[in-house]
A and B are shown apart, each in its own frame.
Chain A
């Protein structure tokens, strides 16, 4: 009964979404207050129905009800309870339901935290979100019903893909979806503003906190995904420029641009049309990402469940949503007038440059991601575009972007002159360069990439700190003074420092990582980057739903024991797939990483992969700092008051 109830709840959610996206629109157009006021209750009813439906599916998995096809395909009685719950979103049907629930959650949040925004506006915003919801719920009901039954009922389920039996996967998809789907709020605000024909600064102010929160989720979600790939795939890599990773990174880049252009639109009334277009782009890229992941048009290490017929549905949906938004844009945007002017040397110009660089970066990634499709569509063969392309186009865009960030923070709105800043910029640059050279000198070898990265990172940090301290001009720094500074200011500085930390992490890891595949018999050791890895054999292990071997590696440096690492090689019983569980000794300045390859010979020897990864933690640390900065900015007092 529970599965049928879950399906019924989904139908109720669809009906609520239909009401949510019809009556309020008509009400807003014809000015009928009663119809406008339907928006909030309908949105809340939709959210509750989706939550009930999702809870039913979780219940099916916890109860091991294998009469439900989706549970039979993705779960197993021997699967530990936490993975039985995360298996709910481990494959196509469930992850779509999670998508819909996430959208429902955002819709609910908008309906609750928007008391100060005029009802007419909220009616339209919720209406737009309702339309998106209709698309996804219909998609689930028509092509991907997670509650479908099978007969005869299998005694045992086929188990969850072992790659996904991991803590990282429990939280990575919900976080990422919160980010992806959260961009629908900014999108809905932009569409609502265009429908109302009121593209003033007000819509920008309303959508800023929402966009920032979505961006925080997206940042953390992507970082988690990268961390998961690092320790779970056993290749020691943290980013593969895989189509699915790109699908999450493109919306992030555009959302980052959007955050900056929203600031310019709200504060100075410039770039209005562009900001609207960015809001449309950001969410369109989320939808495109969903299409790429779910349709299987591109092969990827992530395509655990993809299906071309389902792809067609998403594509048609994409055309309807994005196509109509762009038509609306073509119709409304020409009427937008900028209300203020700015000189060439100004914060407006800096933000414009920031936007151009970020959008160009997103564009080059889009090109690289879709290029194999273009070649295939033109019947020119099969190719795949790999890291060499992405690294060689992406890095040259990021270097000026980070430099611009360091300078941009100091520039004033409307009009400024470089003479004023020249002294500071130069002084800090010289200090940064010295620190960059010093930092690189401490590395195993001299490389220009390291000098550039460390110098730029310090330049950003110094300029950010200087800019922050300007608030205390002529005043002593005091606790009282620190408390009066708005959170948004803290957030902006912290997020940018996060970028500096991230830059150092990425560069030093890429340049100075060492790795080696070695064959070791028990008692043998191998030396890598000054660390001795001694292999002392392996033993058999039996887990709840797998069997395997656990290796024992002791790492010493100059005779001192640094870490005892126990990598595992598992064979999951049901799907019979081998899995590598890497063992990692994490540290601020370096990670030591051991993964087991294959057994060799009769005397207990193993092929082992050893990695030394300097500063890799800084990549995720930087992302967390960015996220924290975003969170501070999004929860600034002026937004909280506006509730």
Chain B
């Protein structure tokens, strides 16, 4: 003899499991960026070391490069910084730093202390370009291909596993494209 009130726990559990199944196929860290697959938004910003000279993404067309958004006030940036230094040493890819909502003095001191993996750094003190790129947390890293299209966006500090297992293979694949 079955009674509804004794079956209720089972029904609730079935609902919970369905939810967990769906949850399992979603990656909680993956926040889709509407920019992936689109051209990197254009900008022209002064360079950190040489404010009279500007840089814009146009200049690196035909090359695979990374745009790393960082700031001296950001703890996550400090975590990933040694790995960026490592990556720079491999001379695999140019890394452009976008110094976000920071002061030039602090940014320079930070690079002097922790090392400079960047081919060049541009400054975005008001965060306007960051806004165009949909930055909502620092650090973020955009992977831009030879045609100037954003192919991937990494949110949060890059760790060793991400770098070796996902990001370096991705860079190599992008470089192999015509």
Contact = CB atoms under 8 A, between A and B. Distances in A.
Interface stretch (B13-21, B89-97, B122-130): B13-21
Kindly name the residue among B20, B27, B31, B82 whose own CB sees the greatest number of chain A CB atoms within 10 A: B20
Contact of A376 (B7, B28, B82, B83): B28
A329 B6 contact: yes
Contacts of A319: 17
B17 A377 contact: no
Interface in A270-293: 273, 277, 280-281, 284, 291
Interface stretch (A149-157, A493-501, A573-581): A573-581
A357 interface: no
Contacts of B28: 296-299, 372, 376, 382
B10 A382 contact: no
A131 interface: no
A370 interface: yes
Interface in A428-471: none
A315 interface: yes
Interface residues of A, number: 41
A312 to B, nearest CB: 6
A609 to B, nearest CB: 12
Nearest to B72: A598
A311 B24 contact: yes
Interface in B3-35: 3, 6-7, 9-10, 13-14, 16-17, 19-29, 31
A361 B116 CA distance: 51
A330 B79 contact: no
B1 interface: yes
B160 interface: yes
A575 B160 contact: yes
B24 A578 contact: no
Given A315-B20, A326-B9, A373-B19, A334 B1 contact: yes
Contacts of B3: 334
Interface in B63-102: 78-79, 82-83
Contacts of A335: 1
B6 A578 contact: no
B173 interface: no
Given A370-B19, A575-B160, A277 B26 contact: no
Contacts of A315: 17, 20-21, 24
Given A295-B24, A298-B28, A334-B1, A377 B10 contact: no
Contact of A333 (B6, B22, B27, B160): B6
Contact of A297 (B9, B23, B83): B23
B14 to A, nearest CB: 8
A481 interface: no
Contacts of A280: 9
Interface in A309-365: 311-312, 315, 318-319, 322-323, 326-327, 329-331, 333-335
Contacts of B83: 576
Contacts of A333: 6
Contacts of B176: none
A374 interface: yes
A591 B169 CA distance: 49
B24 A308 contact: yes
B26 A330 contact: no
Contacts of A326: 9-10, 13
A297 B24 contact: yes
A478 B160 CA distance: 66
Given A323-B10, A329-B9, A577 B79 contact: yes
A376 B20 CA distance: 11
A327 B10 contact: yes
B2 interface: yes
Contacts of A334: 1-3, 6
A133 B31 CA distance: 37
A539 to B, nearest CB: 18
Contacts of A577: 79
A373 B23 contact: yes
A277 B8 CA distance: 11
A281 B8 CA distance: 13
A331 B1 CA distance: 7
B6 A273 contact: yes
A330 B24 contact: no
Nearest to A597: B75
A504 to B, nearest CB: 34
B154 to A, nearest CB: 15
Contact of A377 (B2, B14, B26, B29): B26
A600 B38 CA distance: 40
A402 to B, nearest CB: 28
Contact of A374 (B2, B14, B19): B19
Kindly name the residue among B14, B16, B23, B26 whose own CB sees the greatest number of chain A CB atoms within 10 A: B23
A377 B82 contact: no
B32 to A, nearest CB: 9
Nearest to A319: B17
Interface string A360-399: 0000000000101110110000100000000000000000
A377 B7 contact: no
A373 B20 contact: yes
A412 B83 CA distance: 66
Contacts of B14: 323
A324 B139 CA distance: 46
A364 to B, nearest CB: 15
A205 B3 CA distance: 27
10 contacts: A297-B26, A297-B28, A308-B27, A323-B17, A330-B10, A370-B16, A374-B19, A376-B26, A576-B83, A598-B78
Given A330-B7, A374-B19, A577-B79, 19 more contacts: A280-B9, A296-B28, A297-B23, A298-B28, A308-B25, A308-B27, A315-B20, A315-B21, A322-B13, A323-B13, A323-B14, A327-B10, A329-B9, A330-B9, A334-B3, A372-B28, A373-B23, A576-B82, A578-B78
Interface of A: 158, 273, 277, 280-281, 284, 291, 295-299, 308, 311-312, 315, 318-319, 322-323, 326-327, 329-331, 333-335, 370, 372-374, 376-377, 382, 575-578, 598-599
Nearest 6 A/B pairs, CB to CB: A377-B22, A326-B10, A373-B23, A576-B82, A297-B23, A333-B6
Interface of B: 1-3, 6-7, 9-10, 13-14, 16-17, 19-29, 31, 78-79, 82-83, 113, 160
